[in-house]
Amino acid sequence: MEQKQFKPLDPLLHSELRLAVMSLLLEVEEADFVYLKKQTDATAGNLSVQLDKLSGAGYIEVEKTFRGKKPCTLCRMTDKGHEAFLTYVDALQSYILQANKQ
């Protein structure tokens, strides 16, 4: 799909949960595991895996700290992630633009 008409969709972002996480991190700049889990309504296992992928791609930074005695996993979007997200949103337009005109 390297055609003119449709721009390729970054597979790392073209996932419901990862997209939701990135969307949240764009708003808040920093969020912990529990917050992300609640906002996305994801299971902990799924969230853990998807955060790993985003982190592995360098789209988010993950910092493991403690809040009091409990572990606390903090996430924030990197510049690279920010750029990738904007590129993804732009690419999406090539698929849905005429639908918006309906």
- Which positions touch DNA (CB under 7 A)? 11, 14-18, 32-34, 43-51, 53, 64, 67-73
Interaction of residue 83 with its own copies, rule CB under 8 A: no
DSSP 57: T
β-bridge pairing 31-32 and 60-67: unpaired
Taking the C-alpha atoms of residue 21 and residue 31, their distance in angstroms, rounded to an integer, is 9
Positions 30 through 59 that interact with its own copies (CB under 8 A):
39-42
Tokens of 73: 């996993």
Rounded least distance, CB 67 to DNA, Å: 7
- Of 2 and 79, nearer to DNA (C-beta) is 2
- Of 2 and 101, nearer to DNA (C-beta) is 2
Q: Which does 31 bind (CB under 5 to 8 A by kind): its own copies, DNA, none?
A: none
Q: Checking phi first, is residue 86 left (phi over 0); if not, alpha (psi -120 to 50) or beta?
A: alpha
